[in-house]
Amino acid sequence: MSSGPLGVAVIGYSFMGKAHSNAWRNVRAFYPSVPQVRQQVLVGRDEAAVKEAGEQYGWAETATDWQAVVARDDVDVVDICTPGDSHCDIALAALAAGKHVLVEKPLANTAAESEAMVAAAREAEGRGVRAMIGFNYRRVPALALARHLIADGRIGRVRQVRAAYLQDWLADETAPMTWRLRREQAGSGVLGDLGSHVVDQLHYLLGDPVVAASGRLRTFVPERPGPGGPEPVTVDDAAWATLETASGVVASMEVSRMATGRKNGLTLEVYGERGSIGFDLERLNELMVLDRPDDVAAGARRVVVTEADHPWLAAWWPPGHVLGWDHTFTSQAADFLTAVDRGTQPQPSFADGLAVQRVLGAIEQSSGEDGRRVVVQAEGAE
């Protein structure tokens, strides 16, 4: 490893590359105790475009050859923001080269790749090399507070979770074909894209793995206009599942890209024996909390999660000065750097990412078997 600030390389420069660049540029301004970082190199296939993005986002250099980049001595951290089909190759190369790796979700597009990545991360861990998957919503302060309150017993033992992640960017049936709607490139549709966040939140909030699933997938608009005429949509537009955890919680899940009017509606309702919790990502600074159900004035509280004693908030602004979506990536980068610095395992791990993939796999399998309940492949079964 290089001495001095940690050199960071981000692979990929579009939506996620922009969000991660923002995190690296700002992490030290809010978390001054983390190791110093250098925004060393931004990598992309289109030389002109990545150069422009690199200048805009504050990178020292840009490059087109990720293999060369992950081998560089002045690169200590490789942050993978490419589409899912290249995650495995890059991660394996980076870990082999002794680089700490942060990979955007999903871990990979296939089970085999995901398992290889988990194995590589475990091997690298022995060498002091860290690997993390980027489920950024784990760094939403309201959700971290929710997790804390649940663990603390505020709402009693959890029985039911009602979860959805609804967007509407495909509601218009004339919206054009994109690579995201082709199975061979995207791996999956809304189930992998949004469903993965839902399942990871279940694991995160409850600390209790999903062990069985019934599911249904649906493509509402079977073809969309492409440059040369209509093209078939080969992934799901919407998906539904009923999930069971190891401890017996039942969770319902609904995800869609067709829910007209919902822009980024990740909603979670957690019902426990003595209270409940609610969350809506469109209001990410708020958490609904109900406890003390026998109080004459019982009801769901709207907690504005912006106090200094709320997770990550001490680093930011005074009470009521709300955070945005991108701040979750900055806090994620801080936690990653802290783990690197302290030699601990950053959370969530590649294994956490694999666990999510396996639940999604069970949902998809169930959908193919007419909704029949499918047991999720056990951990360590790769």
Decide: is 242 part of the binding site for a copy of itself (CB under 8 A): yes
In the list 89, 291, 335, 352, the residue contacting a copy of itself (rule: CB under 8 A) is 291
Residues in the chain: 382
- For residues 382 and 182, give the distance between their C-alpha atoms in angstroms, rounded to a whole number: 27
In the list 265, 346, 353, 361, the residue contacting a copy of itself (rule: CB under 8 A) is 265
Least distance from C-beta 274 to a copy of itself, angstroms?
Answer: 7
Nearer CB in complex with a copy of itself: 68/375: 375
Nearer CB in complex with a copy of itself: 70/81: 81
- For residues 285 and 303, give the distance between their C-alpha atoms in angstroms, rounded to a whole number: 8
- For residues 111 and 114, give the distance between their C-alpha atoms in angstroms, rounded to a whole number: 5
Least distance from C-beta 241 to a copy of itself, angstroms?
Answer: 9
Is the CA virtual torsion 90, 95, 100, 103 positive or negative?
A: positive
Residues 6+ away with beta carbon under 8 Å from 117: 87, 88, 91, 92, 103, 107, 108, 131, 350, 353, 354
Nearer CB in complex with a copy of itself: 88/363: 363
In the list 122, 182, 183, 283, the residue contacting a copy of itself (rule: CB under 8 A) is 283
In the list 229, 320, 343, 380, the residue contacting a copy of itself (rule: CB under 8 A) is 320
- For residues 27 and 333, give the distance between their C-alpha atoms in angstroms, rounded to a whole number: 7
Decide: is 296 part of the binding site for a copy of itself (CB under 8 A): yes
The four Cα atoms 287, 292, 297, 302 give a dihedral, to 10 degrees, of 0
Q: What are phi and psi of 189, to 5 degrees?
A: -100, -125
Decide: is 274 part of the binding site for a copy of itself (CB under 8 A): yes
Which one, of 254, 280, 258, lies nearest residue 363 by Cα? 254
Angle between helical axes of 47-57 and 15-30 (0-180°, round to 10)? 20
Compute CA 155 distance to the chain's CA centroid, rounded to the nearest angstrom.
26
Decide: is 264 part of the binding site for a copy of itself (CB under 8 A): yes
Decide: is 327 part of the binding site for a copy of itself (CB under 8 A): yes
In the list 256, 332, 349, 377, the residue contacting a copy of itself (rule: CB under 8 A) is 256
Work out the number of other CB atoms within 10 angstroms of the CB of residue 163: 24
Among 4-12, 105-113, 181-189, 293-301, the segment contacting a copy of itself (CB under 8 A): 293-301
Decide: is 26 part of the binding site for a copy of itself (CB under 8 A): yes
110: DSSP letter: S
Q: Give the binding-site size for a copy of itself (rule: CB under 8 A).
A: 97
In the list 71, 111, 175, 304, the residue contacting a copy of itself (rule: CB under 8 A) is 304
Nearer CB in complex with a copy of itself: 39/349: 39
**Footprint (CB under 8 A) of a copy of itself, residues 143-202:** 145, 149, 154-156, 159-160, 162, 164, 166-169, 171-173
Nearer CB in complex with a copy of itself: 187/272: 272
Nearer CB in complex with a copy of itself: 17/192: 17
Which one, of 85, 65, 1, lies nearest residue 37 by Cα? 1
- For residues 333 and 328, give the distance between their C-alpha atoms in angstroms, rounded to a whole number: 9
Least distance from C-beta 257 to a copy of itself, angstroms?
Answer: 11
Among 2-10, 222-230, 259-267, 333-341, the segment contacting a copy of itself (CB under 8 A): 259-267
In the list 184, 273, 341, 379, the residue contacting a copy of itself (rule: CB under 8 A) is 273
Decide: is 34 part of the binding site for a copy of itself (CB under 8 A): no
> Which amino acid type is present at position 217?
L
Least distance from C-beta 44 to a copy of itself, angstroms?
Answer: 16
In the list 247, 321, 344, 378, the residue contacting a copy of itself (rule: CB under 8 A) is 321
Decide: is 272 part of the binding site for a copy of itself (CB under 8 A): yes
Angle between helical axes of 111-125 and 87-96 (0-180°, round to 10)? 20
Decide: is 86 part of the binding site for a copy of itself (CB under 8 A): no
Nearer CB in complex with a copy of itself: 96/169: 169
Decide: is 56 part of the binding site for a copy of itself (CB under 8 A): yes
Q: Which two tokens stand for residue 193?
A: 């894209």
Q: Which residue has the tokens 């899940």?
A: 253
Q: How far is CA 111 from CA 116, 145, 353, 381, in A?
A: 9, 32, 11, 11
